[in-house]
Structure 1
Amino acid sequence: MAAFMSAEQLVVTLAPVIVYWVYAGMYEVLLARTTVLDRYRLHSRQEEETKNIASRKDVVRGVLLQQALQAAISVAVIKLDGHGTGATEGPAEPFLVLAARFGVAMLVHDAWQYFMHRLMHSVPYMYRRFHSWHHRVAAPYAYAAQYGHPVDGVLTEVLAGTAAYLASGLPPRAAAAFFIFATIKGVDDHCGVATPWNPLQALFHNNSAYHDVHHQRGGGRWNFSQPFFVVWDRLLGTHAPYVLRQRDGGGLEAKAFKDRHQVKH
């Protein structure tokens, strides 16, 4: 295997998959075995059972298939890009250069996902045939983040990562860090929990409550941006701000405002 791929390239390919299940598993354990997150839940356990069409077994199978395709395409891109197969990385770039590359990757990744995601909702055939799979989970939870039709997964997520990698020129280790970060952020956006002390949800307006609006009934015209920024939604008129309010029976609800002139969260 070492002759086929370097250790750094293996990390780029496999680390995001491992991190996905570990991070999502943390949410599952906390929600299933404790009550520490119950007051911050966006959907009750009963709602997860009644609103979600896809079973948890279907979700696991779908995510594993998506990740297998992701890994295969990642290997192909790395090989074709020629980042020194079987070799170690060269001298480390200055921190500011790496930070700039990381920022470019985030911007390209967001732009690709916004326009492809919006296209999936705008073309009836593409929504019915592909993207509707992801919305079978109407009450999102952590390990359903990458659940969807394989074609949707490749077009929306895998190619977004590929474009970000190629456009930014990130070296393998920095690319691994970027994909791990994007994976954690994607899981967090679908975790179904809005905690004020979660740094990802505090620092990014594009968080679990923001994306929950998109999964709500009638929300398919709003909040397409994922996973980092909300800039494209704001620029192109698809931004639906929200307020969090207490829900009867406990937990929280993200109440969306479709009118730009209403008070924004």
Structure 2
Amino acid sequence: MAFGISDELLGTFVPIAVYWLYSGLYILLDGFDKYRLHTRAEEAEKNVVSRSSVVKGVLLQQAVQVIVSLLLFMVVKDDTAVAPKQPSILVIATQFAVAMFVMDTWQYFMHRYMHINKFLYKHIHSKHHSLIVPYAFGALYNHPAEGLILDTIGGVLSFLISGMTPRTSIFFFSFATIKTVDDHCGLWLPGNILHVFFRNNSAYHDVHHQLYGNKYNFSQPFFTTWDKILGTHMPYSLENRKEGGFEAKPIKRD
């Protein structure tokens, strides 16, 4: 507990603050055209929703996320009002790994089904794909139903199945938030440490947002495992664009 604020409240609101702060860093880098995966002209032409609408959509989803999170913590909270003791680093690392696996698995299959089911894609998931050229603070721009099913319920399952404490969840969901924002940032920055550890990155997810790739690269936010196992992995090559910046070009599948 910090400054009299419970771990449950921190676990609810810190990831939201992280979302906007980390997105803000990418806004500061918006002028770095030499690192963009799409030109500004492409963004203006292909994206059919305004940035102000994206902000409103994300805030709505985060409001739903707050309500579900607070209800969850009310259910699992210990009535003794004593914060549970933190386990060893090894146990926490194991809980992180389990939570990452659960989140990846849930999001892969729910995400893929939203593409397979024409009704769900047309009326729900297509809202997220209105950002053909993704950018950082649009990472959670979804239909409220998708935000609830894909992100919020996925987070609840990760928390419950891994057995992590509310304090551990502050760090896990903050990290998951950073990873999600990074995957949608639309930039390929040199020295990005997340690219060292994860093949599921901004270029990988950018392929999925393009018309040629929307039946591939469903995995998010951590690993590409399920795509590779189930044959939905689309490899790509990162090439310099003559106008400046980079382009993730799909490699023909055998």
Opposite residue 17 of structure 1, the aligned amino acid is I
Indicate the SS of the match to 1:255. strand
Is the aligned partner of 1:92 residue 2:81?
no
- Equivalent residue in structure 2 for 1:190, among 167, 184, 189: 184
Indicate the SS of the match to 1:218. helix
Opposite residue 113 of structure 1, the aligned amino acid is Q
Contact 1:6 1:85 in 2 (8 A): no
- Equivalent residue in structure 2 for 1:109, among 90, 93, 103: 103
Match in the other structure for 2:120: 126
Find the aligned partners of 2:235 and 2:190 in 1 and give their Cα distance.
17
Opposite residue 71 of structure 1, the aligned amino acid is V
Find the aligned partners of 1:149 and 1:20 in 2 and give their Cα distance.
18
Find the aligned partners of 1:16 and 1:85 in 2 and give their Cα distance.
25
Find the aligned partners of 1:224 and 1:52 in 2 and give their Cα distance.
20
Indicate the SS of the match to 1:138. coil
Taking only aligned residues, the RMSD between alpha carbons, in angstroms, comes to: 1.6
Listed one character per residue, the Cα deviations across residues 71-110 of structure 1 (whole Å, up to 9, x for unaligned) are: 110111111122x268342332111011101100000000
For residues 191-230 of structure 1, the aligned pairs below 5 Å read 191-230=185-224
Find the aligned partners of 2:251 and 2:239 in 1 and give their Cα distance.
13
Find the aligned partners of 2:196 and 2:107 in 1 and give their Cα distance.
22
Match in the other structure for 1:27: 26
Listed one character per residue, the Cα deviations across residues 181-204 of structure 1 (whole Å, up to 9, x for unaligned) are: 000000000000012310012210
Indicate the SS of the match to 2:211. coil
Unaligned runs of 5+ in 2: none
Listed one character per residue, the Cα deviations across residues 192-236 of structure 1 (whole Å, up to 9, x for unaligned) are: 001231001221000000000000122110000000000000000
Listed one character per residue, the Cα deviations across residues 97-153 of structure 1 (whole Å, up to 9, x for unaligned) are: 111011000000000000000000000000000000000000000000000100011
Match in the other structure for 1:62: 57
CA pair 11-101 structure 1, distance change in 2 beyond 3 A: same
Q: CA deviation at 1:40?
A: 1.5
Is the aligned partner of 1:166 residue 2:165?
no
The percent of aligned pairs where both chains have the same amino acid is: 49
Contact 1:239 1:258 in 2 (8 A): no
Find the aligned partners of 2:43 and 2:180 in 1 and give their Cα distance.
19
Listed one character per residue, the Cα deviations across residues 170-189 of structure 1 (whole Å, up to 9, x for unaligned) are: 10111110000000000000
Q: CA deviation at 1:46?
A: 1.7
Match in the other structure for 2:10: 11
Opposite residue 240 of structure 1, the aligned amino acid is M
For residues 147-158 of structure 1, the aligned pairs below 5 Å read 147-158=141-152
Contact 1:19 1:183 in 2 (8 A): yes
Find the aligned partners of 2:101 and 2:252 in 1 and give their Cα distance.
25
- Equivalent residue in structure 2 for 1:44, among 39, 42, 45: 39
Contact 1:6 1:86 in 2 (8 A): no
Match in the other structure for 1:140: 134
Contact 1:111 1:232 in 2 (8 A): yes
Find the aligned partners of 2:197 and 2:226 in 1 and give their Cα distance.
18
Contact 1:140 1:192 in 2 (8 A): yes
Unaligned runs of 5+ in 1: none
Find the aligned partners of 1:28 and 1:86 in 2 and give their Cα distance.
44
Alignment coverage as a number of residue pairs: 252
For residues 169-180 of structure 1, the aligned pairs below 5 Å read 169-180=163-174
Find the aligned partners of 1:182 and 1:85 in 2 and give their Cα distance.
29
Find the aligned partners of 1:175 and 1:112 in 2 and give their Cα distance.
18
Question: Given the two structures, how large is their TM-score scaled by the length of structure 2?
Answer: 0.96
